Structure 1
Amino acid sequence: MPGHGQGRGGAPTTSRPRTHTLRRLVGYVLQDRLRVVIVIAACGLATVTMVLGPWIMGRATNVLFEGVISKMLPAGATKQEAIAALEANGQGDMVDMVASMDIRPGEGVDFARVAMILGVTACVFVCTVCLRWLQGWTLTRLVSNAVYRMRRQIEDKLDRLPLRYFDRVPRGEVMSRTTNDVDNIGQSLQQVLGELIFSLFSIIGTVAMMLALSPTLLLISLIVIPFLLGVAYLIIRRSQPYYVRQWNATGTVNSQVEEMFSGHMVIRAYGQEQEAIDEFDRRNRELYDSSFMATLISGVNMPVTQFFGNLNFVIVVVVGGLKVLSGTMSLGDLQAFSQYSRQLSQPLGQLSSMATILQSSLASAERIFEFLDEDEEEPERGHTTDIEDVRGLVRFEHVRFSYDPDEPLIEDLSLEARPGQTVAIVGPTGAGKTTLVNLLMRFYEIQGGRITIDGVDTRDMTRHDLRRHFGMVLQDTWLFDGTIRDNLLYGLHEGDAIDEDRMVEGARACHVDEFVRRLPDGYDTVLKDDTAELSQGERQLLTICRAFLSAPDILILDEATSSVDTRTEVLVQQAMNRLRKGRTSFVIAHRLSTIRDADLILVVDHGSIVEQGTHDELLASGGAYADLYHAQFANGGTIDEE
């Protein structure tokens, strides 16, 4: 929190082996084992039907070619007679080719057989399409479930992270990791997983068919594979650092945009628009450069793959043509083999492209896993307890705490707030006023001593049980997107409920009802971040009413009236007096006029209580409180809050 010396640097980066990140990422997918099996089975069957297609079409090509050759030979002659006639006419170069064919001189093309083969081919291709659709549909559900589990883990992690994490990490960085990086992983997995499995099966099936058709041509085709893999490896190595920079820069840009958006009034008030634009341009340029280089290097992959694929195709066709002429290979087999050579280079190119996409996914995964591996709040003690009827006796007993071990803040603090007392905490900026409240709520853990409520150590209670006894109103208003009614009832715990009349009664006590009634939809008015119907003071009144309706056992007011005008402040003070009645209350205020009636005023400086007493007692003593009081009213100003 501002005031305790914590920086606003980004989250620390760690270096972890890519194989560890990959295994951890795949673990999210493998949790849905049934769908994994379906995807693999569909890919395997689709591969079988796909590799059978060219071979079946090759049979149709053989029938057509043999029919054309048969039509050219004299009708009524036998195959051997036709071969002898070719030799007699000096066409010996065709003898070997014709001898390897199933010809019937003079009969022509058997179109019925061709139609039957093409029908079988169509059925095979339809099966491939159906299996690929099943694979795609199942994979979509598989990846969506994996990303859903990841988001759930992130949400749960957010609830377990200590407040100090959010003190040092910009909100834009957190949002980038939990949104952009997760979306990138989902999109990358969707692209990679299906094609990865299908490409691996395709390579295996294609190589098997090529081996069956011509081992010689297969060896020739495999010559280009090492060159293709070598180029792909170089591309992956070169693109990997740029993907890491890209997603780190994305988080930095998001942080800059979030800060500019939330602080746009201050930026304009101080005339810093150009400086903010220049800073954004610098960070945006870093994102552009890293994204451009990552895309540029990855884009080289496909042209390289196509080049080697075309080179392989030309070699196969030339050598295969010679084999057809020599009668050691049929034209249909050459056609099928040339298609298989295309199919072999395609999945190899896809694997190379997917490897570059995977680099982007792993870069995002590292950022997410780094977030998930952040230190969490200290675990609860083994035996926890709770207080059924809270009286409100709060004690700090020799409490020790510091944000930075090298900069002690609270070294030996003891205080007591009796049931029903209103305890005001005042002091200069950075004195540790808000820190006391954070320790009481266990937003931070003390490093020595103990804090008790009705004699029960707060660390012996779960954080949930502890905090449900508190009601808190902060200086910064927080209202979520929803109706005014939903926001007012937000402070109620599970199982609690109040009727409409009691809600309206509380709204009137906090002077909320009078301006809500003027709204067209009343309590059903939907609030947004940019809601213009309500002033800042009215939004603050809503948060005060929310605490009022929750009827807490202990009340914390941290500059609760700082955003309301003087007239409204008087009305709110009256409501606060009713709210504080019978409850132990802690009030942090810079308007000393609002705490004159406090039962106990604590003057805090550098984490220590330098004075305590009532308003009159402290003024009479002429100490630090008197100096603050006279300085405030002499200058007509206020004392800054930390």
Structure 2
Amino acid sequence: MIENACKTANAHDFIMNFPDNYETLVGERGILLSGGQKQRIAIARAIIKNPKILLLDEATSALDTQSEGIVKNALDKASKGRTTLVIAHRLSTIRNATNIIVINKGVIVESGIHKELVDKKGIYFKLAETQQIQQVLKAKENLNLSKDVVTTSFTIKDNHHRFVLSSRLNLDKQNADVEMGLKNNDHNYTSWELIKKIAIINRPEFLILSIGIISSIVNGCIYPIFAIIYAYAIQAFSNTGNTLRNESTFWAFMFLVFAIMTFWLNIIQNVTLGFSSGKLTERIRSISFASILRQDISFFDEENHNIGVLTSHLSSDVTHISSLAGSTLGKMLQAMATIFSSAIVALIVGWKLTLVCLCFMPLLIGSYSLRIKMLNGFQQKTKKAYEYTAQIACEGTDNIRTVAALTCENNLWEKYHNLLNEPMRQGFKNAFLASIPFAFANCIIFLVNALAFWYGSKLFMDYEYDLKKAFTVYSAIITGSMLLGRLFAHVPDITKAKFASASIISLLERVPIIDTWRQDGEKVKTVKGHLKFSNVHFHYPTRFNVPVLRGLNLEVKPGQYAALVGTSGCGKSTIINLTERFYQVTSGTITIDEMNIAKMNVNNLREHIALVGQEPLLYDMTIKENIIFGCLPRQIITQNDLEKACREANIHEFIIGLPNGYDTRVGVKGTQLSGGQKQRIAIARALIRNPKILLLDEATSALDSESEKVVQKALDSAACGRTTLAIAHRLSTIQHADIIFVIKDGKVHEQGTHQELLNVQGIYYMMVQEQYLEGSNL
């Protein structure tokens, strides 16, 4: 059923080309797939449900022409016997619809089949005209034109050998680079290393932290001193009359002094350590988020770096560290000070009884150590499971509209619930096994009591110890034993803090291959925009066995409007990604103005480039803030500049029509706006930085024909004086491009102007035929 649905959606073939076929992980939000591949999988997901009502909201907007034709035919077949409601801006996808409804400003203005609406010469006719592609084949001035304008690929055999050789020579180099970038990520830190690194982060609060540590130690030393005073108080009851009254009054006053001391020491301890812990939490969260933003795009392609895991680092991991560095640290230091000082006092006062009681200490420490080891293993087993559940929760809530549309709330909940079963099973197992040494340790405390009373009574009867000495040693030993149990009660906190510290430190010390923090590299103030790909091979770091670009050669001269067309997954978006230097090429070079971008400063390179993606992302801010977000550092923007960019993107009139104008909040991911409105704001965000190189990855795919025409005209005018590289499946948007590259199998298969490529009557010509809207194609 799955394969049939994917074949219907034209997704089966590209899925079978993946290393793990249908078991291939697509990454968070499908980041490892192209837009067309994601859309085809989404179509298969809808078809497999076999619904009676099928809703298609621009369901083929991200597909190439060939795939669109196949999927459209498949959807036509799938539509039989069910009601289908389609939203489409690319009119070629709905020309065979039973009924086409034209809506303008919330009102139905026309309805009918394609031919009827075209004959009316109304709004639909004008929409169709804007998407019409020129198909006149001009006379060939040269019979060898196709040889001049088409960049043919190498012989398959020669190209295959070249690619394999290039891959082998460069795979080791790239793997070495990846290992170098991840060298700290897999480092096994010792506990002492982690303590030192966290202490360095907390260094600004060293003074106040020292006060907290000292107060904790002094607070812990009170208990053995109190044991001495307590023994004197017990000794006082052997007296009578005024002597008893005077001594009991004195020792009662000493108890009062100790109470006041303990009160102030606890306040100092908790305030200082609490403040230090709060500043540590703030600093770790801040630098951790900065470190996440520092990482290159390949970092986020990895399965264990999804949103759930990364937000876990920022929330629970930091909490575990800060709790251990705050009040828990004070309690542990207090307990340790009590244990050592109690042992010292007991040895000084009565070494015989102390040494006998200390014979149980190795058993006590051993049982607690065994518990620590068991808890460490439990923490390792459950950490991965909880990270994955966090990913499921994040993706489920983040895509709640899709979850609701698929009515799979219960399925998602069951999946989340079932993932908790393994940690629960491990928890029960651990609770039973770890409780045995814990119970044994608590049992030993009472055995120490019994031994202390028994042996102490013998020493008392032999007149070696008096009542004061016996009670001093007994109180010190018992207090130390109980505090040792309290110290080991914090073992789970220590374990969690250790793993959390390892995760945070590995993130902070991870140096990406493409590092935006590096200040070296060549910097230029201006660029002309001469972009060139020379024999570029590339595969994504998470898919070493799947080549994407296979010796790509491509050149865009300064000021040219270049377009990339081809089937989904052929490498068009990859070219955009490599131009932005989101990834490192496997081999070959990419140059801008004859300067290798691998040697350029990353931030400086990206300052000259603006990107409008296929799926524009807006932040939960105002429209104005979203647009200004695209400004360069130190770029001063006025309201006039803002409005100019919005007029060029055909969004100004819409914005000023809103109640709050430019101060209108767009909601999470821009949910308060339509797809076309979001895309136009994204275009304005790109134009406001006045880039020298403009990258458009299906930048007008979500726009209606009227808006597309205006925006395309704005983009055409904005392209003057700058190099523009555009990906388009709607060929009417790029038919006036200076040069069009037809990408196939990771190489440039054809190149030339629209008319030249039509004359060749190759791949591009067939793509145009698929989108042709004239009456002959009805």
Asked if Structure 1 and Structure 2 have the same fold, meaning a TM-score greater than 0.5 normalized by the shorter chain, the answer is yes
| TM superposition shift of 1:9 | 7.1
Structure-2 residue corresponding to 1:528: 667
Q: Does 1:66 align with 2:236?
A: no
> Could you say which residue in structure 2 is the equivalent of 1:453?
592
Q: Distance in 1 between matches of 2:200 and 2:212?
A: 12
Paired residue type of 1:20: T
Check the 8 A contact 1:21/1:365 in 2, yes or no: no
Given candidates 514, 539, 543, the residue that maps to 2:678 is 539
Counterpart of 1:320? 456
Q: Does 1:114 align with 2:251?
A: no
In 1: Cα distance, 2:766 partner to 2:430 partner: 61
Cα displacement (A) at 1:548 = 1.9
Change (3 A) 1:162 1:15: closer
Q: Equivalent residue for 1:27? A: 197
Query: Contact between 1:397 and 1:415, CA under 8 Å: does it hold in 2?
Result: yes
Is the 1:426–1:433 Cα contact (8 Å) retained in structure 2? yes
Q: Distance in 2 between matches of 1:161 and 1:578?
A: 35
Aligned-partner SS, 2:301: helix
- Tell whether 2:539 aligns with 1:402: yes
Does structure 2 conserve the Cα–Cα contact (< 8 Å) formed by 1:224 and 1:312? Answer: yes
Mean Cα displacement is larger for which, 191-200 or 277-286? 191-200
Q: Distance in 1 between matches of 2:656 and 2:313?
A: 41
User: Are residues 1:42 and 2:215 paired?
Assistant: yes
Mapping for residues 138-537 of structure 1, pairs under 5 Å: 138-169=272-303, 170-190=306-326, 192-294=328-430, 303-321=439-457, 323-324=459-460, 327-372=463-508, 374=510, 376-378=512-514, 384-403=521-540, 404-529=543-668, 532-537=671-676
**Aligned equivalents of 2:386 and 2:774: distance in 1?**
46
Q: Deviations over 1:476-518 (max 9, x none)?
A: 2222232221111111112211211331233233232333234
- Name which of structure 1's ranges 202-211 and 353-362 shifts more when overlaid on structure 2: 353-362
Structure 2 Cα separation of the partners of residues 501 and 152 of structure 1: 35
Q: Distance in 1 between matches of 2:530 and 2:474?
A: 87
Matched residue SS, 2:420: helix
C-alpha deviation, 1:137, in angstroms? 2.8
Distance in 2 (alpha carbons) for counterparts of 1:632 and 1:342: 88
Cα displacement string for residues 571-595 of structure 1 (whole angstroms, at most 9, x for unaligned residues): 3223222322221111111211211
The answer on whether the counterparts of 1:401 and 1:410 sit within 8 Å (CA) in structure 2 is: yes
Q: Give the deviation of 1:416 after TM superposition.
A: 1.7
Secondary structure of 2:448's counterpart equals helix
Deviation by residue 1:344-391 (Cα, 9 ceiling, x = unmatched): 112211232233332222233333344445561246999633332322
Change (3 A) 1:421 1:242: same
3-state SS of the aligned residue for 1:172?
A: helix
Where 2:568 maps in the other structure, the secondary structure is coil
The amino acid across from 2:668 in the alignment is D
Structure 1-normalised TM-score?
0.84
Q: 1 CA distance for matches of 2:218 and 2:413?
A: 56
Higher RCO structure (Cα 8 Å, ≥6 apart): 2
Judged with a 3 Å threshold, the aligned counterparts in structure 2 of structure 1 residues 235 and 432 are, in CA distance, closer, same or farther, namely: same
What TM-score, normalized to structure 2? 0.70
Per the TM alignment, residue 23 of structure 1 is displaced from its structure 2 partner at its CA by: 1.9
Larger mean CA deviation between 49-58 and 152-161 belongs to 152-161
Question: Which one of 723, 746, 767 corresponds to residue 607 of structure 1?
Answer: 746
Distance 2:724 2:557 in 1: 10
Residue number among 687, 691, 705 corresponding to 1:552 in the alignment: 691
Amino acid at match of 2:340: I
Mark the CA change 1:277 to 1:117 in structure 2 (over 3 Å): closer, same or farther: closer
- Pairwise CA distance, 1:245: 1.9
Rounded Cα–Cα distance in structure 1 between residues aligned with 2:233 and 2:584: 79
The amino acid of 2:582's aligned partner reads F
Q: Does the 8 A contact of 1:243 with 1:359 survive in 2? A: yes
One-letter code aligned to 2:677: E
- Is the 2:537–2:550 Cα contact (8 Å) retained in structure 1? yes
| Contact 2:309/2:391 (<8 A) preserved | yes
Contact 1:386 1:461 survives alignment (8 Å): yes
Please state how far the C-alpha of 1:559 moved relative to its aligned partner: 1.4
Cα distance change, pair 502–156 in 1 and its aligned pair in 2 (3 A): closer
Give, as a single letter, the amino acid of the residue that structure 2 aligns with 1:480.
Y
Q: Equivalent residue for 2:141?
A: none
Deviations along 1:126-173, whole A, 9 cap, x unmatched?
223323332333333444444444434433432332211211233322
Unpaired segments ≥5 residues, structure 2: 1-13, 19-23, 29-177
Sort the Cα spacing of 1:369 and 1:27 in 2 relative to 1 into closer, same or farther, 3 A: closer
Q: What SS class does the counterpart of residue 691 from structure 2 fall into?
A: coil
Which residue, out of 559, 565, 574, partners 2:713? 574
Shift of 1:35: 4.5
Between Structure 1 and Structure 2, how many residues are aligned?
596
- Unpaired runs of 5+ in structure 1? 68-106, 637-642
Moved more, 135-144 or 554-563: 135-144
Indicate the structure (1 or 2) with the bigger Cα radius of gyration. Answer: 1
319-328 or 624-633: which moved more? 319-328
Residue identity in the other structure for 1:457: N
Structure 2 contact 619–670 (Cα < 8 Å) conserved: no
* Of 205-214 and 111-120, the range deviating more from structure 2: 111-120
In 2: Cα distance, 1:233 partner to 1:17 partner: 24
Per the alignment, residue 88 of structure 2 pairs with none
Q: Deviation digits for residues 218-247 of structure 1, max 9, x if unmatched?
A: 133223222212221222222221111222
Q: Percent identity?
A: 25
2-structure distance, mates of 1:354, 1:13: 32
Question: Does the CA contact (< 8 Å) of 2:550 and 2:745 recur in 1?
Answer: no
Contact 2:612 2:697 in 1 (8 A): yes
Equivalent position SS for 1:496? coil
Matched residue, 1:56: 229
Q: Give, in whole Å, the separation in 2 of the partners of 1:335 and 1:16.
A: 53
8 A contact 1:50–1:128 mirrored in 2: no
In the other structure, the counterpart of 2:756 is: 617
Q: Does the 8 Å contact 2:651/2:681 carry over to 1?
A: yes
Q: Which amino acid aligns with 1:128?
A: T
Q: Is the 8 A contact 2:389 2:419 kept in 1?
A: yes
1:74-112 alpha-carbon deviations (Å, 9 max, x no partner): xxxxxxxxxxxxxxxxxxxxxxxxxxxxxxxxx355423
TM-superposed CA distance for 1:303, in Å, is 4.6
- Tell me the distance in 2 between the aligned counterparts of 1:442 and 1:30: 33
- 1:524, CA displacement in angstroms? 1.9
Report the CA distance shift for 1:390/1:378 in structure 2 as closer, same or farther (over 3 A).
closer
> SS at the partner of 1:236?
helix
Distance 1:17 1:376 in 2: 15
Answer yes or no: is the 8 Å Cα contact 1:324–1:334 preserved in 2.
Answer: yes
Give the direction of change, closer, same or farther, for the CA distance of 1:614–1:430 in structure 2 (3 Å limit).
same
Deviations, residues 303-359 of structure 1 (Å, cap 9, x unaligned): 544332233223323443555566544444444434323311122112322333322
Q: Name the aligned partner's letter for residue 314 of structure 1.
A: A
